[in-house]
Amino acid sequence: MNKRAFNFNAGPAAIPLEVLERAQAEFVDFQGTGMSIMEMSHRGAVYESVHDEAQKRLLGLLGAPVGYKVLFLTGGASTQFAMLPLNFLTEGKTAGYVRTGSWSDKAIAEARLIGETYIAASSEDDKFMSVPDLHQLQIPENAAYLHVTSNETIEGTQFKEFPDTGSTPLIVDMSSDILSRSLDVNRFDLIYAGAQKNLGPSGVTVVIAREELLQNSPKHIPTVLRYDTHFKNNSLYNTPPAFSIYMVNQVLKWIEEQGGLTGIEALNVKKADLLYQAIDQSSGFFRGCVAESSRSNMNVTFRLSSEDIEKKFIKESEQEGFVGLKGHRSVGGLRASIYNAVPYDTVKALVDFMAEFQRKNG
């Protein structure tokens, strides 16, 4: 096999090599069935056991107490931006959103198409280069839910703590940091994430929620957009993205082998520390974009002194086998996404490349 790329893509992103190899080994003939997982009925026992196993593993890894359910849906996290208000933002209610940047704004825009919303907190004044303090939130009595984006993939910010919302459901978009650290799931009422960063390939979106939230969707909304449809049918109301779910199950198994969330968190902190230290110790040659206490351990955003030198950095990094270091087109600069599957040695290679680049251009 050719050398693996130093993959810093923001999503779709790196998948552990072990997972790819295991999938390859059983690609053509899944468990002696004479067919691949993509060729069999989603109503058969073989597929269903993969489906159920992935749900159990996910709940197990999160340490979710009894009463939480996993749904496998399609349409990406973006479809959840619409499904959430469709299912919960009923007449007379308002939905609270914490504004932290690009993805939270997309979620808000969808909710506004459906009902009343309010901004519970915002870091706009800081150009979204930090996350707002959520300690003193005032939650109105008629709040349907409070929505938080745990990690802003584009800006590179991450919440380290979550608010206590009392009886108001706390809903969190964890698309870019799910399963990257241990969290107390009890604090959350609904978590959702597109799979293509920390969970596997694109094509499946996971929703992990308290069962009672998933059982009473308003009667007027379309069948396929109702949480209760998918809850009642164990996410088999229509044909699920079987191969993506199979891959998620393999990635979950891999996370278990890394020591679960405690193990993966320790590794993620080590990788992020290495990279942020390289930025901070460059005497201003590299500059982190985000306030220190809000820095993401998943998406590390940084800049150089001019756009020209940033272009040079990207070009030369690509020649050395680095992929995905260009910042999102909406904000520019540089971004290294160091999700669970990015090995420590890959981050080390980047830090070495950065030092060499500085030596030549500093």
Q: How far is the CB of 111 from ligand PMP (least distance, A)?
A: 14
Instruction: Find the binding residues for ligand PMP in span 116-175 (CB under 6 A).
Output: 149, 153, 173, 175
Q: Which of 8, 47, 88, 103 binds ligand PMP (CB under 6 A)?
A: 103
Let me know how many helices (H) and strands (E) the chain has, helices first: 9, 14
Q: Is 43 annotated as a binding residue?
A: yes
Contact 287, 318 (CB under 8 A): no
Q: Which residues are within 8 A (CB) of 44 and not within 5 positions of it... i.e. 6 or more apart? A: none
The span of 73-81, 179-187, 230-238, 343-351 binding ligand PMP (CB under 6 A) equals: 73-81
Treating both helix axes as pointing N-terminal to C-terminal, what angle do 102-114 and 76-88 enclose, rounded to 10 degrees? Answer: 40
User: Active-site residue 254, yes or no?
Assistant: no
Tell me whether residue 78 is annotated as binding: yes
Q: How many residues bind ligand PMP (CB under 6 A)?
A: 11
Stretch 168-207 residues interacting with ligand PMP (CB under 6 A): 173, 175-176, 194
Per DSSP bridges, beta strands 299-303 and 287-288 are antiparallel
Pick 87 or 104: Cβ nearer ligand PMP: 104
Residue 335, SS3 per DSSP: strand
243 binds ligand PMP (CB under 6 A): no
Residue 173 falls in the annotated catalytic set = yes
Radius of gyration of the chain (CA): 21
Answer yes or no: are the C-beta atoms of 51 and 247 closer than 8 Å. Answer: no
Is 219 assigned a catalytic role? no
Count CA within 13 A, CB hemisphere, residue 97: 25
Q: Which of 69, 197, 271, 326 is catalytic?
A: 197
Angstrom distance (rounded) from CA 268 to CA 273 = 8
**Is 77 annotated as ligand-binding?**
yes
Q: Which segments are annotated as binding site for pyridoxal 5'-phosphate?
A: 77-78, 103, 153, 173, 196, 238-239
Q: Which segments are annotated as binding site for L-glutamate?
A: 43
Q: Which residues bind ligand PMP (CB under 6 A)?
A: 11, 76-78, 103, 149, 153, 173, 175-176, 194
Q: Which residues carry out catalysis? A: 103, 173, 197
